């Protein structure tokens, strides 16, 4: 009897403990995650920033802003501190309705392609309708099905802001869009372009014909280069993808294409580069679903360490003869040339046509010359007589970055950006290359120089990391004298500040927020004085759906010294008595870090995954973001596979130590592209720590990823023989080398026509895992490029299933239909 009673008590205790344990278990919440799909977010998040349209390059601007009450258009005059609606929206809706005969109201007004005219009292816009009309002759010419001649009519309007007169315009008065291929010379007498890999020009009269009808047989074209061929062109084959369809390719050759010409201010010269890529290796993808027959796409693609047999050429054309003169700018084997243009300003306009002037004067222009290993960069002055002189030399043992210099004092001085002291800063030089002084200094990173005020000698620039006890990635806007004195913060506040500046530099629009604040947009003057508050984003619908802001955090890197900054996302139905698996969303950089700093729409990828029942975190790592010290940015140089993994591991450990709701025995990791590479690497380098990974479009073998990214961030060894021959050697560790280490659950996903990270990266990873006799999962997305296109939503739910199955022990993997997607789509035939 005693043993019987003890048995009952023991059974009760076990049942009680099991019930307690079961109550702590989290079940996947498909319904909550589906509430925040991209399509649903579009009905809950509207405008989050003011995007100014500066009127005729002046200080006045207009913008449109959408809230849950609809869209409105505003006009702002900063000098008079006036903000007003462009028009009475209810009255405009009524007047448009009476003309278009489609009903509109103030809340649902649709105005497309709104723009100001040269007369700033006039605006024009377009309104769609459901009225049938016949397509134009030009449109009918382009049709493959000549019977498809009916379209929905678009109405064209002009509105006078002063008289409030609304006038319907005939579609024949519609301004013809400038052809994308047209490049004007400074006096706009000629238009230049590329065709069949060579250079052409036509005069303005023929250009006007081309605007009316691209295929007008009376257009007179003037060809002035004749030796351009595919992969050694004067223009028109930047990407030059061939599909194997000869008819299509022949048609493509006949099309006019843009060519980037940098013009001298007097219009007598232009410059461009040319490179012979014929012997560079090709790469291929097969599109199995793009048409009746699978098609082969061929494109040039240099991989790291491969031989590049030719050098980039710099050619100067005299417009009198239109004969090229090659300028000898050789300094390094396989060097890169950066040709700079003047900033886009009103002075570059001739009438309505923008002229692309070179950075310089009538006698010389300025470019950068970078070595293949990017450890040497020269700032050069190139004369129209063919002379070349070096203004600045930058040298380092790791890769260098370069920015376009800013010419000041009528071109007698320039402001140069450099990381020579370990931080990005501005330096003042004279035009002979003499250093006059360092302008900014200290442990912070200067980003973009937005403007320079000649009368006051003031620089205006973006920077981060200067404000103490604030996330160093938050961007701020500053002013400083060119002698380095009187630095002033113009956009204060513990937020990330994204600014837009008028051409004069007199006014600043500051869009600021954090991941856990509502975005706000304010207008300031160049002294940092608040002119007016513009907008605060309307997130009422989002919060009504149950949205909650994520949390920011700071932890230490694997060295116990370096601060790392991250964001933690909880399920909106979070229960502190339960324990949750943790998933890290990763992207290692080094050109950026995938850690949100301001409020955005990332919840379709990160927030939404957490709603399934996970703690999801994103955090930086040493070797990631370029906007910290050069030491931080180049930490992974020479170790591009493993450099960030330790930090990802210790971050999860530190967070679990802080929060008892994190189950450190259930750690997942996911990412796309570099994040796909990193998530797989984490599973193989720390196989007993990371349990589940979903790897999207990963560059698992960086020896077959593009040369620019791989050699830049990992490094390439340049060797020079006694004879003076230069070769490049590239060695890097790959994920495939560690396939034997896999212990957890791994899902690899790629698009089959990814021409960025070639699908061979994933397929070779698959092969290595098969040869290592590992169980894993693989999904090939047909017809998809690097970003997965219209299969992104399918991928999300496949990822959600995978993590739910292997971290929560339950999923809908056995159900055939993705009901979370199907119920949001109307049924069609």
Mean pLDDT, the chain, integer: 92
The whole-number pLDDT of residue 349 equals: 83
Secondary structure of 615-672 in HEC code, one letter for each residue = EEEEECCCCCCCCCCHHHHCCCCCCCCCCCHHHHHHHHHHHHHHCCCEEEEEEEEEEE
Residue 142 has pLDDT above 90, yes or no: no
Residue 177 has pLDDT above 80, yes or no: no
585 pairs with which residues across the strands? 670
Rounded Cα distance, 827 and 829, in Å: 7
* Cα–Cα–Cα angle for 110, 115, 116, rounded to 5 degrees: 135
Query: What does the pLDDT average to over 528-552?
Result: 97
Query: What does the pLDDT average to over 493-504?
Result: 96
Mean pLDDT lowest for which of 138-152, 390-404, 574-588, 683-697? 138-152
Kindly report the number of other CB atoms within 10 A of residue 601's CB atom: 13
Query: What does the pLDDT average to over 796-800?
Result: 96
Residue 477 has pLDDT above 60, yes or no: yes
4 pairs with which residues across the strands? none
Rounded Cα distance, 368 and 379, in Å: 5
Q: What percent of the chain has pLDDT over 90?
A: 82
**CA 112 vs CA 127, 157, 160, 177: distances in Å:** 6, 10, 17, 15
Residue 17 has pLDDT above 50, yes or no: no
CB 362 within 8 A of CB 264: yes
Residue 793, token pair as written in the block: 């939503």
Rounded Cα distance, 711 and 330, in Å: 20
Residue 192 has pLDDT above 80, yes or no: yes
Higher-confidence residue: 647 or 591? 647
Kindly report the number of other CB atoms within 10 A of residue 800's CB atom: 25
pLDDT tens for each residue of 240-255: 566 666 777 778 888 9
Q: Strand 198-203 and strand 313-318: pairing?
A: unpaired
Rounded Cα distance, 672 and 697, in Å: 6
What's the N-to-C CA distance of the chain in angstroms? 71
Cα Rg, the chain, nearest whole Å = 30
523 pairs with which residues across the strands? 509, 532
Query: What does the pLDDT average to over 335-356?
Result: 89
Residue 23 has pLDDT above 60, yes or no: no
Residue 15 has pLDDT above 60, yes or no: no
Helix, strand, coil fractions of the chain, as percent rounded to 5: 20, 35, 45
Query: What does the pLDDT average to over 623-644?
Result: 92
Rounded Cα distance, 247 and 749, in Å: 34
Domains of the chain: 87-173 (no CATH), 550-716+726-822 (3.40.50.1820)
H/E run at residue 478? strand 475-481
Rounded Cα distance, 121 and 118, in Å: 8
Residue 688 has pLDDT above 60, yes or no: yes
Query: What does the pLDDT average to over 662-674?
Result: 97
Helix, coil or strand: residue 416: strand
Residue 399 has pLDDT above 60, yes or no: yes
| Local confidence band at 692 (pLDDT 50, 70, 90 cut-offs) | very high
Mean pLDDT lowest for which of 9-13, 293-297, 705-709? 9-13
CB 402 within 8 A of CB 377: yes
| Local confidence band at 336 (pLDDT 50, 70, 90 cut-offs) | very high
Q: Strand 580-585 and strand 615-619: pairing?
A: parallel
Phi-psi region of 164 (alpha: psi -120 to 50; beta: other; left: phi over 0): left
CB 199 within 8 A of CB 212: no
The whole-number pLDDT of residue 239 equals: 57
**CA 444 vs CA 532, 554, 625: distances in Å:** 29, 18, 13
Rounded Cα distance, 427 and 799, in Å: 48
CB 98 within 8 A of CB 113: no
> What backbone torsions phi and psi does residue 127 show, to the nearest 5 degrees?
-130, 125
Rounded Cα distance, 76 and 678, in Å: 47
Residue 44 has pLDDT above 80, yes or no: yes
286 pairs with which residues across the strands? 296
Query: What does the pLDDT average to over 205-233?
Result: 94
The whole-number pLDDT of residue 346 equals: 81
CB 465 within 8 A of CB 422: no
Rounded Cα distance, 424 and 402, in Å: 10
| Burial call 564-583: b when 16+ CB within 10 Å, e when fewer | bbbbbbbbbeeeeebbbbbb
DSSP 8-state class, residue 357: B
CB 413 within 8 A of CB 432: no
Alpha helices in 43-126 (DSSP H): 89-100
The widest CA-to-CA distance across the chain, in whole angstroms, is 115
What is this structure's pTM?
0.93
Residue 748 has pLDDT above 90, yes or no: yes
Residue 759 has pLDDT above 60, yes or no: yes
DSSP 8-state class, residue 580: E
The whole-number pLDDT of residue 634 equals: 95
Residue 74, token pair as written in the block: 């505003």
Mean pLDDT lowest for which of 251-265, 450-464, 776-790? 251-265
Mean pLDDT lowest for which of 208-217, 329-338, 530-539? 208-217
Higher-confidence residue: 694 or 281? 694
Residue 21 has pLDDT above 60, yes or no: no
The whole-number pLDDT of residue 238 equals: 65
CB 348 within 8 A of CB 186: no
Rounded Cα distance, 74 and 53, in Å: 10
The whole-number pLDDT of residue 242 equals: 66
CB 272 within 8 A of CB 236: no
Which residues have CB under 8 Å from 466's CB, separation 6+? 442, 444, 476, 478, 489
Residue 607, token pair as written in the block: 């927030």
Residue 795 has pLDDT above 90, yes or no: yes
Residue 109, token pair as written in the block: 């007004």
Q: At what angle are helices 645-658 and 674-685 packed, to 10 degrees?
A: 70
Residue 235 has pLDDT above 70, yes or no: yes
Higher-confidence residue: 150 or 680? 680
* Cα–Cα–Cα angle for 285, 334, 258, rounded to 5 degrees: 60
Which residues have CB under 8 Å from 378's CB, separation 6+? 331, 368, 369, 370, 390, 391, 392, 393, 394
pLDDT tens for each residue of 263-286: 999 999 999 999 999 999 999 999
Rounded Cα distance, 785 and 391, in Å: 42
Rounded Cα distance, 543 and 596, in Å: 19
The whole-number pLDDT of residue 4 equals: 62
DSSP string, 81-131: TEEEESS-HHHHHHHHHHHH-S---GGG---EEEEE-SSTTEEEEEEEEEE
Query: What does the pLDDT average to over 594-599?
Result: 92
Helix, coil or strand: residue 542: helix
Residue 464, token pair as written in the block: 């981060």
The whole-number pLDDT of residue 70 equals: 96
Residue 518, token pair as written in the block: 């509502």
DSSP string, 536-594: E---HHHHHTT----EEEEEE-TTSSSEEEEEEE--TT--TTS-EEEEEE----SS---
Which residues have CB under 8 Å from 405's CB, separation 6+? 340, 359, 366, 379, 414, 415, 416, 417
Residue 158 has pLDDT above 70, yes or no: yes
The whole-number pLDDT of residue 594 equals: 84
DSSP 8-state class, residue 104: -
H/E run at residue 767? helix 760-771
The whole-number pLDDT of residue 626 equals: 86
């Amino acid at each position: 009897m005693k043993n019987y009673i003890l048995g009952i008590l023991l059974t009760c205790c076990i049942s009680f403990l099991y019930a307690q344990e079961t109550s702590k278990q989290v079940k996947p919440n498909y319904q909550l995650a589906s509430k925040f799909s991209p399509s649903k977010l579009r009905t809950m998040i509207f405008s989050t920033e003011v995007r100014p349209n500066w009127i005729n390059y002046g200080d006045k601007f207009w913008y449109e802003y959408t809230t849950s009450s609809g869209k409105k258009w505003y006009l702002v005059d900063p000098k008079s501190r006036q903000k007003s609606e462009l028009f009475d929206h209810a009255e405009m809706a009524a007047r448009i309705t009476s003309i278009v005969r489609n009903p509109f109201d103030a809340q649902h007004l649709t105005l497309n392609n709104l723009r100001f005219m040269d007369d700033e009292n006039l605006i024009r816009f377009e309104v769609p309708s459901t009225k049938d009309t016949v397509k134009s002759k030009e449109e009918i010419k382009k049709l493959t099905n000549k019977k498809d001649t009916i379209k929905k009519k678009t109405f064209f309007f002009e509105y006078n802001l002063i008289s409030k007169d609304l006038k319907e315009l005939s579609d024949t008065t519609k301004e013809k869009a400038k052809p994308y291929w047209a490049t004007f010379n400074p006096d706009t007498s000629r238009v230049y372009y590329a065709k069949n890999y060579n250079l052409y020009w036509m005069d303005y009269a023929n250009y006007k014909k081309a605007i009316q009808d691209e295929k007008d047989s009376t257009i007179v074209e003037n060809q002035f280069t004749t030796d351009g061929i595919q992969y050694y062109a004067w223009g028109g084959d930047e990407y030059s993808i061939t599909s194997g369809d000869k008819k299509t390719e022949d048609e493509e050759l006949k099309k006019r294409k843009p060519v980037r010409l940098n013009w001298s201010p007097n219009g007598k010269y232009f410059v461009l580069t040319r490179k012979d890529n014929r012997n560079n290796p090709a790469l291929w993808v097969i599109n199995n679903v793009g048409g009746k027959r699978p098609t082969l796409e061929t494109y040039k693609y240099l991989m790291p360490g491969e031989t590049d047999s030719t050098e980039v050429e710099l050619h100067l054309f005299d417009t009198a003869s239109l004969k090229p003169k090659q300028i000898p700018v050789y300094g390094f084997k396989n060097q890169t040339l950066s040709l700079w243009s003047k900033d886009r300003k009103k002075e570059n306009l001739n009438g309505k046509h923008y002229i692309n002037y070179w950075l310089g004067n009538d006698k010389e222009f300025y470019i950068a010359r970078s070595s293949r290993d990017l450890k040497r960069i020269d700032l050069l002055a190139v004369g129209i007589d063919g002379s070349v002189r070096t203004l600045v030399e930058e040298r380092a043992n790791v890769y260098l970055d370069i920015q376009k210099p800013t010419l000041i004092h009528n071109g007698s001085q320039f402001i140069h950006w450099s990381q020579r002291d370990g931080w990005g800063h501005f330096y003042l030089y004279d035009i002979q290359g003499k250093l006059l002084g360092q302008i900014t200094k200290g442990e912070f990173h200067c980003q973009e120089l937005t403007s320079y005020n000649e009368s006051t000698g003031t620089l205006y620039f973006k920077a981060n990391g200067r404000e103490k006890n604030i996330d160093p990635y938050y961007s701020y806007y500053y002013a400083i004298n060119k002698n380095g004195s009187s630095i002033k913060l113009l956009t204060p506040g513990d937020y990330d500040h994204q600014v837009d500046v008028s051409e004069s530099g007199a006014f600043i629009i500051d869009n600021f927020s954090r991941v856990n604040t509502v975005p706000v947009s304010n207008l300031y003057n160049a002294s940092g004085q608040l002119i007016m508050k513009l907008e605060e984003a309307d997130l009422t619908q989002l919060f009504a759906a149950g949205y909650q802001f994520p949390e920011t955090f700071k932890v230490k890197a694997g060295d116990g010294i370096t601060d790392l900054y991250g964001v933690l996302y909880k399920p909106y139905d979070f229960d502190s008595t339960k324990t949750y698996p943790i998933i890290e969303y990763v992207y290692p950089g080094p050109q950026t870090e995938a850690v949100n700093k301001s409020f955005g729409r990332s919840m379709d990828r990160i927030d939404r995954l957490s709603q399934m029942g996970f703690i999801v975190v994103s955090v930086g790592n040493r070797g990631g973001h370029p906007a910290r010290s050069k030491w931080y940015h180049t930490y992974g140089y020479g170790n591009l596979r493993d450099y960030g993994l330790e930090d990802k591991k210790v971050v999860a450990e530190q967070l679990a130590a802080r929060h008892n709701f994190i189950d450190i025995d259930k750690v997942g990791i996911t990412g796309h592209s570099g994040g796909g590479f990193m998530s797989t690497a984490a599973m193989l380098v720390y196989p007993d720590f990371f349990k589940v990974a979903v790897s999207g479009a990963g560059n698992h073998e960086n020896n077959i990823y593009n040369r620019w990214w791989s050699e830049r961030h990992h490094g390439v060894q340049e060797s020079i023989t006694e004879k003076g021959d230069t070769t490049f050697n590239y060695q890097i560790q790959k994920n495939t080398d560690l396939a034997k280490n896999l212990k957890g659950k791994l899902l690899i996903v790629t698009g089959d026509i990814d021409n960025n990270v070639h699908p061979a990266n994933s397929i070779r990873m698959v092969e290595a895992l098969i040869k290592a006799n590992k169980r894993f999962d693989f999904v090939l997305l047909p017809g998809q490029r690097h970003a997965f296109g219209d299969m992104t939503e399918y991928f999300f739910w496949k990822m959600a299933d995978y993590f739910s199955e292997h971290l929560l022990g339950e999923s809908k993997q056995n159900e055939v239909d993705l009901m979370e997607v199907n119920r949001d789509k109307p049924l069609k035939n």
